[in-house]
Amino acid sequence: MRISSQLLLNFLLNAAWQIALIAALASLGAWLLRSSASRYRHWVWVSALCLSFLLPAVTAVRAVIETTTTPVLLRTNTPFVAAEPFQPHSLPEATTRRTTLFPSIIELNTDLAFLLLGVFGLFVLYRSFRLLQAWQTTSIIKRNALELDAGDHITGIIDKCASDLATGSRQIRILRSLTLPVPVTMGFKRPVIILPDALLREGNTELLTSAIGHELIHVVRNDYLLNFIYELLYVPLSFHPAALLLRRRIKQTRELCCDELVAARILNAEVYARSLLQLAGSAPTLRRLSVTTTVGIADADILEARIMSLLSKPKVTTRWKKTLLCIVSILLLVPCVAAAAFNMRFGLEPAAMQDVQKEKERSQEIEKKKTEEMRERTSADVIKERIARDPQFAAELERRREMELQARDIKQAALVKLARINMDQAIQIASSQQPGKVMSANLDARGWEEPGKLGKDGVVFYHVEIADEVNNGSTHVWVNAVDGTVMKTEKELPRKQRSPDMQ
């Protein structure tokens, strides 16, 4: 449990900055390749998404391995150091080197760590549920699709597109749907293309050629399978806004790639752009993409960019294009390798250390009590032995004891003489303030100048403790022994003893 928590924590916290770094580098690389073919920008974004998952995963595994192996190295060398008197220059060289080989662990509070993991788990569960829901919706669309009423017109368009794209012997089913507004493609072992029934009834050759050609390119490129893999990679990264950007750019550049292939192999670019405008304009793209795992002609919400891309030609020469690709590859990979090498390590050590510290404090408290008891017992034994051995010391102790008793008697006699009311009256006065059973009552004074003589600011009082049967506690009442006024009243909670200020 602890290792898995550390693994997820290192993945989450390292991904928080590594994904942002990768997305920034991918954005810069795509900007450098803005004048080249769309397929290069597409693979930049795909590589960025894969690195966004692999880099934190590798970092997390390395961090956990380093965290679990480093303490073992320290423990194996401890007996050697403890066997001799401590001398810094006598420590083994390997010990010092191993303890400083890895960077220090950033220790997080256990409650904070599990809170972060809980939020991360909610994101993963939500995205997993949405992916499962999309898979089920796609299956329903496929089940509700109808067989195509093959005719000479539609068969000729399909054969022409398949011939232009060289699909070979691959079996591709083409169905129709009464509910879908745009063509879609699904399946990777047995791919299926579903065309809207309204598009088939319209019979526009250019529109049908554009739709079928675009979907056949999705099949040739295995976009359905790749898209599903990308969605799986996105699930553990869905907490990060930069991961959402990568996912969106992959979808957009994928459609740009398909558009370029249609314009290069099947239709004229101007004709396809006009058809694309009619097809994509009728699709509720954002809503459809959120609930299905299909790929299709309306996947991207960049219709204007797609049309502009079709009508413009790449301006980059082959030599400059290769140079840019090398630059972008280095730009993307070198910082990622550096980020993996200098990873941050996170652990749950504070929680364990806190438990150890508490246990240590409890042990120290027990040892302290035992030491005090032994000290008191030892002191009493020493005094007894000295009394038995030294008669003069015993006589001195007896004299001091008699002086203390004499002083107490003098004090008590002075208290009785100074008091103007007796104890029964004091108890009656206290009971009028707090009815209940009297637990104790005593006569005392504050501000002695010397034994038997009260100072100018001295006060003689009765301290009465009355049980509070309702609240299961007690009430302390201080009554002036001269004039009978209540000086102070204080309630005491159950099983809680106080040292009154008046004493």
- Give the pLDDT of residue 74: 40
Topology annotation, domain 419-492:
Nuclear Transport Factor 2; Chain: A, (3.10.450)
**Residue-wise pLDDT tens digits, 428-468:** 888 887 788 888 888 888 877 777 777 777 888 888 888 87
- Give the pLDDT of residue 282: 63
What gap in Å lies between CA 399 and CA 460, rounded to an integer?
29
Cα 354 to chain centroid, rounded: 20
What gap in Å lies between CA 332 and CA 328, rounded to an integer?
6
Give the residue-averaged pLDDT of 419-428: 85
Give the residue-averaged pLDDT of 7-18: 88
Q: Minimal CA–CA distance to 9: which of 69, 64, 70?
A: 64
What gap in Å lies between CA 438 and CA 325, rounded to an integer?
95
**Residue-wise pLDDT tens digits, 369-406:** 877 777 776 667 777 777 777 788 778 878 888 888 88
CA distances from 323 to 36, 78, 221 (A): 12, 55, 26
What does the block give as tokens for 442?
């005593």
- Give the pLDDT of residue 1: 66
- Give the pLDDT of residue 89: 46
- Give the pLDDT of residue 369: 81
What pTM value is reported for the model?
0.64
Give the residue-averaged pLDDT of 200-222: 89
What is the pLDDT of the chain when averaged over all its residues?
A: 80
**Does position 484 have pLDDT exceeding 70, yes or no?**
yes
Number of H helices, E strands in the chain: 16, 11
**Does position 226 have pLDDT exceeding 90, yes or no?**
yes
Report CA Rg, the chain. 44
Which is it for the CA torsion 454, 456, 462, 467, positive or negative? negative
Own/partner contacts of 78-86, CB < 8 Å, gap of 24 or more, are none
**Does position 126 have pLDDT exceeding 90, yes or no?**
yes
Give the residue-averaged pLDDT of 276-291: 61
More confident residue, 202 or 317: 202
Q: Minimal CA–CA distance to 194: which of 230, 142, 127?
A: 142
The HSE-up count of residue 501 (CA atoms within 13 Å, CB side) is 4
- Give the pLDDT of residue 498: 45
Task: Band the pLDDT of 46: cuts 50, 70, 90.
Answer: very high
More confident residue, 353 or 457: 457
Give the residue-averaged pLDDT of 124-148: 91
**Does position 215 have pLDDT exceeding 70, yes or no?**
yes
So where are the chain's domains?
2-347, 349-381, 419-492
Counting residues of the chain whose pLDDT is more than 90, the rounded percentage is: 21
Instruction: Please list the alpha-helical segments (H only) found in 150-282.
Output: 152-165, 197-202, 205-220, 223-234, 241-265, 269-280
What gap in Å lies between CA 439 and CA 447, rounded to an integer?
26
Q: In one letter, which amino acid is 191?
A: P
**Does position 93 have pLDDT exceeding 60, yes or no?**
no
- Give the pLDDT of residue 249: 94
CA distances from 61 to 9, 55, 57, 130, 352 (A): 11, 10, 6, 28, 21
| Contact in structure between 420 and 460 (CB atoms under 8 Å) | no
What gap in Å lies between CA 182 and CA 199, rounded to an integer?
8
- Give the pLDDT of residue 51: 93
3-state SS class at 138: helix
**Does position 344 have pLDDT exceeding 80, yes or no?**
no
Q: Minimal CA–CA distance to 91: which of 108, 105, 107, 79?
A: 79
Give the residue-averaged pLDDT of 112-125: 89
